[in-house]
Amino acid sequence: MTVHLINLDRDTDRLAEFMARNAHVPDVVRVSAIDGKTTDRKSLHGLGIISPDLTYTDGNLGCALSHIRLWRRALKEQRVLTIAEDDTSFARNFQSAHNALLKRLPEDWDFVLWGWNFDHFVWTEIPEGVAPSILRFDQDSLRKNIEIFRASDISPSAFRLHHAFGAMCYSLTPRGARVLLDTCLPLSNVNIQFDNEGLAYRNNGIDCIMNAAYPLMKSFVCIPPLVASENRHENSRTLTGS
């Protein structure tokens, strides 16, 4: 199990902080993030990656392109990848719990979300196939108790994932990568419909548009999470009625 860590070349302090607080994660490979400030949006439109009027900030665009590059790697190399962002904290037993949970999944799983933004809901099924469920969390309490989380041994279960926000850490198969690429590209200012909820969210970041793909594949969410973020720079979500 290798964690592919997205980190900008200039964010050396951020990388050092990540490695210090997650020293218990034995196999972390840094992946140079794409800097949205230096990207050529016209060229990206020509390649079919973004729409010409995409309103992502430079930071959100760079983040999205960094994730997309790793999806393409998973597809090209035909292997499972675990991908993380550099503001995350991993539970003490992440490696063993991560591996054990993957072994319990159906052989044809596509995607597992290891953590999510606590300032929003998680839409799931409990029990699977029986009752659609919406789970609510407290971001302020997570921030206050983040050290407790880091020191914890978590015993998680996997639940079917319908929708969630945050792309802080996840694993995906080559098939999952293909579904994400086919569904999310080109990145555009679309409203993502949440099935059976009468809601739509404006796409303003990669974790928003990924919600369009979750219902199309065998997606799971790890509860309790094995990865958390204090999420102090979260982008606002624009909610509309559908």
Domain ranges of the chain: 3-241
Averaged pLDDT score across all residues of the chain: 93
The bridge status of strand 199-202 relative to strand 111-113 is unpaired
pLDDT of residue 196: 65
Q: How far, in Å, are 26, 70, 94, 173 from residue 2 at the CA level?
A: 8, 13, 12, 14
pLDDT tens-digit profile of 211-230?
A: 999 999 999 999 999 999 99
CATH of region 3-241:
3.90.550
**Residue 75 DSSP label:** H
pLDDT of residue 236: 42
pLDDT tens-digit profile of 54-97?
A: 999 999 999 999 999 999 999 999 999 999 999 999 999 999 99
* Confidence band for 100, pLDDT divided at 50, 70 and 90: very high
The bridge status of strand 81-85 relative to strand 3-7 is parallel
pTM (predicted TM-score): 0.94
pLDDT of residue 239: 40
Residue at token pair 């990924």: 210
pLDDT tens-digit profile of 147-188?
A: 999 999 999 999 999 999 999 999 999 999 999 999 999 999
Cβ atoms of residues 31 and 66 within 8 Å: yes
